[in-house]
Amino acid sequence: MKHAIEFNQVEKSFGSLHVLKGISGYVAAGEVLSIIGSSGCGKSTLLRCLNRLEVIDRGQIMIDNLEISRANLSSRELKQVRARIGMVFQQFNLFPHLSVLDNLTLAPQQVLKLSRQESTERARYYLQEVGLADKAQMYPEQLSGGQRQRVAIARSLCMEPQAMLFDEPTSALDPELVGEVLSVMHRLAERGMTMVVVTHEIQFAREVASRVMFLDKGIVAEEGNAREVLTNPQSERLHTFLSRMRQAQMA
């Protein structure tokens, strides 16, 4: 099976803080990898490294046979990487002064050089896909958190990426809004979108992810089939983490 993303012995430090300590793994084309772990374990840092929002200290990251971790990566190659890999953040990162439609058409016009008509048609298609076709002329502040996150997903889809990275996409949402975002992600997974999802939504990871990777203190503590790992954890550390997650969700 072809690996859409591969990372080998990745290390990253911020000053004296050693965040990633030789992490290796892969994401096969069409699969969903869920990354879980306690706050500060390195989940979001790893995700940002996969899109070169952070430059690693050591190791190698490959995106479709392009090594994006090398020091001499050109600006043209970096643009190619950003076009191939969509990113959805915790805090939406929409431009508040632009309408929903303009948020979606900006990158396709500037990066992909699509015409206004082409980018608008694409934007309206993906707004329909996330159930927000009627919100095109609204502004982000006029939307709920769940709607804004769905707009952010549609914006990434407008680049028609080969893979998508999700950095705890529901963590900033009120509980009643989480489901609408997860349902969009579920549909993407069913259609074969390659996805890496950093999440605390354990049920979502169990049901949707192909594999799960549990990070602990900057290393891969456990990894494998999502249902097997999350139903029958082999390490005491993961067992404790899952128990705490269940208690937090019941509180």
Amino acid at 228: E
pTM for the whole structure: 0.92
Cβ count near 112 (within 10 Å): 15
159 contacts 85 by C-beta, under 8 angstroms: no
The predicted structure's pLDDT at residue 251: 59
The predicted structure's pLDDT at residue 83: 83
What span, in angstroms and rounded, lies between the C-alpha atoms of 218 and 228?
Answer: 22
Residue appearing with tokens 């082999």 = 234
Q: Strand 17-28 to strand 32-36: parallel, antiparallel, or no bridges (unpaired)?
A: unpaired
**φ, ψ dihedrals at 221, nearest 5°:** -85, -30
- Please report which helix (H) or strand (E) contains residue 212, including its range: strand 211-216
46 contacts 196 by C-beta, under 8 angstroms: no
Question: Per the structure, how many domains does the chain have?
Answer: 1
The predicted structure's pLDDT at residue 187: 92
63 contacts 4 by C-beta, under 8 angstroms: yes
What is the per-residue burial (b if ≥16 Cβ within 10 Å, else e) of 170-183?
beebeeebbebbbe
Q: What is the CATH number for 238?
A: 3.40.50.300
- Please report which helix (H) or strand (E) contains residue 211, including its range: strand 211-216
Q: Which residues 6+ apart lie within 8 Å of 120 measured at CB? A: 101, 105
Structural domain span for residue 126:
3-250
The predicted structure's pLDDT at residue 87: 92
Query: pLDDT means per 10 residues in the chain (251 residues)?
Result: 88 96 95 93 94 94 90 87 88 93 95 94 96 96 94 95 93 85 92 94 91 95 94 92 81 59
The predicted structure's pLDDT at residue 61: 95
226 contacts 205 by C-beta, under 8 angstroms: yes
The predicted structure's pLDDT at residue 1: 58
The predicted structure's pLDDT at residue 79: 84
List helix spans (H) across the chain.
Answer: 43-50, 75-84, 100-110, 116-129, 145-157, 175-190, 202-208, 226-231, 236-250
The predicted structure's pLDDT at residue 94: 94
What is the per-residue burial (b if ≥16 Cβ within 10 Å, else e) of 44-61?
bbbbbbbbbebebeebeb
